[in-house]
Amino acid sequence: MAATESAFGEKLMINAERILCELDQHLDHAVSLVICGRAAVALGFDGPPDDVSKTLDVDAIIPITQTEILRADQNFWDAQEATNRKLEKDGLYITHLFEADQIFLRRDWEQHLVPITHPPTRWLRLFRPATLDLILTKMMRGDDAQDLSDVAFLIRHDHLTLAQIESALAEAVIPDLVELRDAFERAKPLVRELARQGGLSEGA
């Protein structure tokens, strides 16, 4: 999703774009960032629901192979801090940086990353998980209505079938925490039903 236009024809950046552009300005070298959460839906798909553009934060996934590199990248953490400080007055921030083994993903998720081209940045190289992996991340809060609404959009957008969803559920790697495994089990029948309905839930 690109920036929207004002009544005067000006390009208005959505919140996720503002956050990422601010982060980019504080970097001094190339950094790859895999965006997840509602920011990934807002920036990584055509015609996303209007409400996802109002998300106030940007979440990201750190591939296991990049964890130590990013931990040692002081400029990145300084840039994150500067970004949050600059945008604090507007309630915008980049905060949750999940290591890949902390969230629901397929084992080979890194092989299916999708580039994100908006906003244009100098140093940031932006990606999102494949749609099936993004759906898995949306199951971490179990039966959360907002996440399920996003899942419904993702299923509709990519015309995903129940068979594709079942394959992703079978391949999902779930962290060994009781609350996360419980959340996954609560979400599974709801996501399956959305797939059966082609992403058309009541009120959609």
> Would you state the pLDDT for residue 17?
96
| Residue 118 structure tokens | 């908006």
Inter-residue contact 120 to 189 (CB < 8 Å): no
- Given this model, what pLDDT does residue 3 score? 52
pTM for this structure? Answer: 0.89
Residues (pLDDT < 50) of the chain are 1-2, 4-10, 202-204
Q: What is the pLDDT of residue 198?
A: 86
Sign of the dihedral defined by the CA atoms of residues 141, 142, 146, 147, in that order: positive
Domain locations in the chain?
1-129, 131-204
pLDDT confidence of residue 204: 41
The pLDDT value recorded for residue 201 is: 58
Render pLDDT for 83-137 as a digit per residue (tens, 0 to 9).
999 999 999 999 889 999 999 999 999 999 999 998 999 999 999 999 999 999 9
pLDDT of residue 57: 94
SS (H, E, C) the chain: CCCEECCCCCEECCHHHHHHHHHHHHCCCCEEEEEEHHHHHHHHCCCCCHHHHHCCEEEEEECHHHHHHHHCCHHHHHHHHHHHHHHHHHCCEEEEEEEHHHCCEECCHHHHCEECCCCCCCCEEEEECCHHHHHHHCCCCCCCHHHHHHHHHHHHHHCCCHHHHHHHHHHEECCCCHHHHHHHHHHHHHHHHHHHCCCCCCCC
